A = this chain, B = another copy of it.
């Protein structure tokens, strides 16, 4: 099979998503991760449009990349300006990247109504800009904006814009379905016409406004396109861009086109989750291939069949994309899962033991309440140990009070927590302030416990997540608080608390996080 190149634009088009705002640091980390994963081209930003993107190109030069080429994105020169005087082209050159991607207009509507220039001049703008960039030895990717809409409006003109780019020396001609309204058979037909006329490598850049970005991308590859542009998790403006996390496994597993090394493909789910973490967006559980539910089986018929033969209800082996099968909690399938999970912390349990059943019932009950043990295995382990009669408790709570006070509209909000605990039969009564109620409780708890458990000084909270479970209940909604902790040996663990009261949920999670940390130190 012909080589197909992956072009990622998460950092540019993906960042156009309404819900995304990457810091410069985020962008550097994502670029490194994409490089490690095996992406061929990484579009870092539009240096002509904002200073953050310009800084990115400065910073990324200091980062050693193994495989990927960095591309800077921008538009063709402006209508009345020579290339050498055009600020945007200058910014592209200043970015000092091996690859430059410039977009130009293919659609007469855009030329006359948006650019407000003549059709003839637009062709010159394309030709000049590409040629100018080529004269600096750049690899030039020409992005034909609105190509499919342009072709439908005026095929001859649309093709002539590609010819201008091609004659200017463009290395790639990329057809963009900018508004995302093109249907797969239209993409096929138009692509055929383009390939008859233009003898350059062709790429596809699809948007998902009709839910067809993946289909349009793979149909293009089938017809001969050798570059696919898209974003991780399909992030992008409006309905997003073509989702590379869907396209990559289709190309590789269903069309037998190797786009990344096989061992990298098995890190795809991690990559998708990691980027959603950086983007601070919840991962979509139903995302093809990489979603948490993508290989989850609920219906009884399906579960039984999958246990007989996974192929019966799974289109691919989930391990190939680093995902896993989940049998959703049901009495039959559940106890064997419990047994294999508790084995991880050296507890042997029989599949038919009443204890296995008890644990399963408890988990099922708590997950219905909104707990989430897959993201909080330390809480799961503590729960199992309690059910087994093991004692991990560090203290008894006598009383807890948090007072939050604000005087006047512009007054500072002051938070104070007081705790009265029974620790090893001694009464400890402490107070502490904090940046908010959870921070104040954390401070007070440490104060109360440190002399009894000096190991505590090496245990730190590293992350804190709050998720509203049933948002529709408004301010009376139930919340889940996940806390990640670390110790000086680099171990990390997560705990969960759930309540309609955010303070209660945070307290639950906080106490467990410390209990677990101390337990692990004592075990070691």
Contact surface of A with B, Cβ cutoff 8 Å: 16-19, 21, 49-50, 75, 109-110, 113-114, 146, 178-181, 183-185, 208-212, 214-215, 218-219, 222, 234, 237-240, 243, 246, 250, 254-255, 277, 280, 282, 284-289, 291, 293-302, 304-305, 308-309, 311-316, 328, 330-332, 367, 372, 374-375, 396-409, 411, 413, 415, 434-439, 441-442, 460-477, 479, 483-484, 499-504, 506-507, 510
CB of A233, distance to nearest CB on chain B (Å):
10
Chain B residues, CB < 8 A from A293: 17-19, 237-239
B299, B464, B499: the one within 8 Å of A237 (CB):
B299
B277 contacts A330, C-beta separation under 8 Å: no
**Beyond A437-B437, A502-B438, is A237–B471 a contact (Cβ under 8 Å)?**
no
CB of A350, distance to nearest CB on chain B (Å):
22
Cα separation A286 to B374 with both chains bound (whole Å): 25
Chain B residues, CB < 8 A from A374: 18-19
**Beyond A296-B18, A298-B237, A501-B413, is A179–B315 a contact (Cβ under 8 Å)?**
yes
A401 contacts B405, C-beta separation under 8 Å: yes
Cα separation A503 to B313 with both chains bound (whole Å): 46
Cα separation A434 to B331 with both chains bound (whole Å): 31
Chain B residues, CB < 8 A from A402: 402-405
A312 contacts B110, C-beta separation under 8 Å: yes
B183, B305, B504: the one within 8 Å of A114 (CB):
B305
- Closest partner residue, chain B, to A237 (CB atom): B298
- Closest partner residue, chain B, to A502 (CB atom): B436
- Closest partner residue, chain B, to A435 (CB atom): B500
Extra A-B contacts (11), CB below 8 Å, given A16-B299, A18-B285, A238-B291: A18-B296, A109-B312, A113-B312, A179-B313, A208-B288, A280-B472, A397-B408, A438-B502, A461-B475, A463-B472, A466-B466
B219 contacts A184, C-beta separation under 8 Å: yes
21 A-B pairs with C-beta separation under 8 A = A17-B293, A18-B375, A113-B312, A114-B304, A180-B288, A183-B255, A210-B214, A210-B250, A211-B288, A212-B215, A239-B287, A284-B284, A413-B503, A415-B501, A435-B475, A441-B475, A464-B471, A464-B473, A466-B467, A466-B468, A474-B483
B413 contacts A408, C-beta separation under 8 Å: no
A19 contacts B250, C-beta separation under 8 Å: no
Cα separation A287 to B234 with both chains bound (whole Å): 12
Q: Which 6 A-B pairs have the closest CB atoms?
A: A181-B315, A215-B215, A461-B474, A436-B501, A435-B500, A211-B246
Chain B residues, CB < 8 A from A467: 280, 466
B184 contacts A475, C-beta separation under 8 Å: no
B183, B239, B280, B500: the one within 8 Å of A250 (CB):
B183
A295 contacts B238, C-beta separation under 8 Å: yes
**Beyond A110-B305, A500-B435, is A332–B210 a contact (Cβ under 8 Å)?**
no
B471 contacts A239, C-beta separation under 8 Å: no
Chain B residues, CB < 8 A from A209: 288-289, 294, 315
Cα separation A471 to B219 with both chains bound (whole Å): 38
Chain B residues, CB < 8 A from A114: 304-305, 308-309, 312
Chain B residues, CB < 8 A from A291: 238-239
User: Which of A255, A312, A401 has most chain B Cβ within 10 Å?
Assistant: A312
A298 contacts B185, C-beta separation under 8 Å: no
CB of A328, distance to nearest CB on chain B (Å):
6
Chain B residues, CB < 8 A from A328: 18
**Beyond A110-B305, A114-B312, A404-B501, is A409–B438 a contact (Cβ under 8 Å)?**
no
- Closest partner residue, chain B, to A315 (CB atom): B181
CB of A273, distance to nearest CB on chain B (Å):
12
**Beyond A114-B312, A210-B315, is A400–B405 a contact (Cβ under 8 Å)?**
yes
A239 contacts B288, C-beta separation under 8 Å: yes
Chain B residues, CB < 8 A from A442: 474-475
